[in-house]
Structure 1
């Protein structure tokens, strides 16, 4: 088993703590560090776990470090862990700035240590259910809406919420981004709380994304349109639906429902499938995947380079929002 230490035991950190313990076949949780003495004392008592006096002490005793601290501290914590000879799991976004991310990529390569970024939606059952299905979308539409929560407003909604979908579309489109347009507005915080972005890829695909953290309901949906299929992913309900059109004499998949359809090109068959990958604990699964990468030499499921690409696109969107705001006339209140 790999000795793992946890940096940060806030709301998400406690969830990671529980998930590490669920992954007990791969990890030995040696302890944690939290900058708040009261939080550290309560967590140590509640979970019967050793609280280390400093990040350096925890890192020195670990082989793997799980970084679940606030985003502005990611660079410093990951750097300490890599310099201390540890592999790293770090929650999204990778860092606050691209310069910080580039430094960590260079350090990861220099030390030969794996850094996996916590884009947890990669392990969502709705996405996993697609399996080996060939996905090459021409148009992607994503909506990620959340009710307001003061936790997380240290960054814009792009880095807080939209970055999940940015990682997904970069993975699915697998193409170079050629143009970014965006608009957004700050409503209850100092950074944009609602943002809409249009992203164009070199091969012609287009993605339209909306993220809001001041909605009246929660929604996390991604829709993919391609010539041979319509794919709907409900990441909140963890469900997926695949709709495909087949010739009448085609060999259809065994699962799913079939409906005849008259088209201008003649009769066709609509096939509707709702694949189920089964229930999973996504955070546990991503942590276990890091252990497999370390022990079996597998590439990281979400590499540090993946984290950089999502962060880079997030910054391009933020810059587009700012540029668009500068073009608008001053509003009278």
Structure 2
């Protein structure tokens, strides 16, 4: 009989709540613990789901087998590294860290200990459900627009690490080429960091990718256009439909698949399967998340330049 894993969540905010509920509902795992510097918030999340609230990291780590890091981004690397050193498998909400050195350090420590590290770039699940990774061509151009309305969430990082990094990861997942330049412009608003940004990234095979992000928009917009030698694909992530002129068969009903209907559950379940040895890897590995972070930081440098 397979042992039930004890799941723990660091961070009792919105995303921590989502992860806690997945651990409480997925098979083969229970929600054991929630850690938050505000004990009342931790208890309000953990107790109704059958878990316990913690304010001490060491005690929390003793109570869990797998950990989700859903705290503010500047704490991701420190908390993930502590969990890894305690022998715990880790799922980190994006970004994996706020510096490449920190991301590489936790990646190396996990590899040394044989532990699984996953990162929450969940929209890869949608690409898988569409069948997009099966197109046997390299893209020529990608255009992504991701606009969100004002929110108090994630203001401790720029809009590049908050929103654009999703589309940077998707671009990297589609192309075998390496990014070589990143240029752009942005606007610093109330958060004190970049709240809108436009960037163009060029790759060593001629592939170009353009990104337009904002967290100060009046309405949400999330679209992507991918140009291939054989045709174009236009995706609306809000309506979850697409127009495909490539000639390659994609799944028009992808939005109705269980994976696409709950991308977080799919991502967490794959992480748990990798922990159990039932899957070769999580949907997004630490190495892939570090690559997306590296490109995101290059874009930030391009904005500043």
Aligned residue in 2 for 1:176:
178
- Equivalent positions of 1:160-171 (< 5 A) are 160-171=162-173
Aligned residue in 2 for 1:321:
303
Shift of 1:46: 3.9
Shift of 1:275: 4.4
- Kept in 1, the 8 Å contact 2:142–2:208? The answer is yes
Which has the larger Rg?
1
CA deviation string 1:24-57 (max 9, x = no partner): x131221211111221232244434211242211
- Kept in 2, the 8 Å contact 1:127–1:233? The answer is no
CA deviation string 1:40-82 (max 9, x = no partner): 2322444342112422112122221111111011111101110
| Candidates 2, 5, 10, aligned match of 1:2 | 5
CA deviation string 1:263-320 (max 9, x = no partner): xxxxxxxxxx734352421111100001111222512220000110000000000001
SS in 2 for 1:292: helix
| Candidates 286, 290, 300, aligned match of 1:308 | 290
Report the Cα distance in structure 1 between the residues aligned to 2:190 and 2:85, rounded to whole angstroms: 39
SS in 1 for 2:9: strand
Aligned residue in 2 for 1:21:
24
Shift of 1:127: 5.2
- Kept in 2, the 8 Å contact 1:117–1:307? The answer is yes
| Candidates 73, 87, 90, aligned match of 2:89 | 87
| Candidates 249, 274, 277, aligned match of 2:252 | 274
Shift of 1:212: 0.5
Q: How many residues align?
A: 297
- Kept in 2, the 8 Å contact 1:121–1:235? The answer is no
| Candidates 281, 294, 302, aligned match of 2:275 | 294
Change in CA separation of 1:54 and 1:141 when aligned onto 2, cut-off 3 Å: same
Report the Cα distance in structure 2 between the residues aligned to 1:185 and 1:151, rounded to whole angstroms: 18
Report the Cα distance in structure 2 between the residues aligned to 1:171 and 1:76, rounded to whole angstroms: 27
SS in 2 for 1:241: strand
Shift of 1:135: 4.6
Q: CA RMSD in A?
A: 1.8
- Kept in 1, the 8 Å contact 2:223–2:236? The answer is yes
Q: Does 1:151 align with 2:153?
A: yes
SS in 1 for 2:109: helix
Change in CA separation of 1:47 and 1:299 when aligned onto 2, cut-off 3 Å: closer
Shift of 1:130: 2.3
Aligned residue in 1 for 2:237:
235
- Kept in 2, the 8 Å contact 1:78–1:88? The answer is yes
- Equivalent positions of 1:48-63 (< 5 A) are 48-63=50-65
Q: Does 1:200 align with 2:202?
A: yes
TM-score (norm 2): 0.92
- Equivalent positions of 1:246-265 (< 5 A) are none
Query: Which consecutive residues of structure 2, in runs of 5 or more, have no partner in the other structure?
Result: none
Report the Cα distance in structure 2 between the residues aligned to 1:276 and 1:98, rounded to whole angstroms: 34
Report the Cα distance in structure 2 between the residues aligned to 1:40 and 1:133, rounded to whole angstroms: 44
- Kept in 2, the 8 Å contact 1:22–1:284? The answer is no
SS in 2 for 1:51: strand
Report the Cα distance in structure 1 between the residues aligned to 2:9 and 2:172, rounded to whole angstroms: 29
Report the Cα distance in structure 1 between the residues aligned to 2:280 and 2:287, rounded to whole angstroms: 15
Shift of 1:4: 1.4
Shift of 1:3: 1.8
- Kept in 2, the 8 Å contact 1:194–1:213? The answer is yes
Report the Cα distance in structure 1 between the residues aligned to 2:5 and 2:137, rounded to whole angstroms: 35
SS in 1 for 2:97: coil
Aligned residue in 2 for 1:11:
14
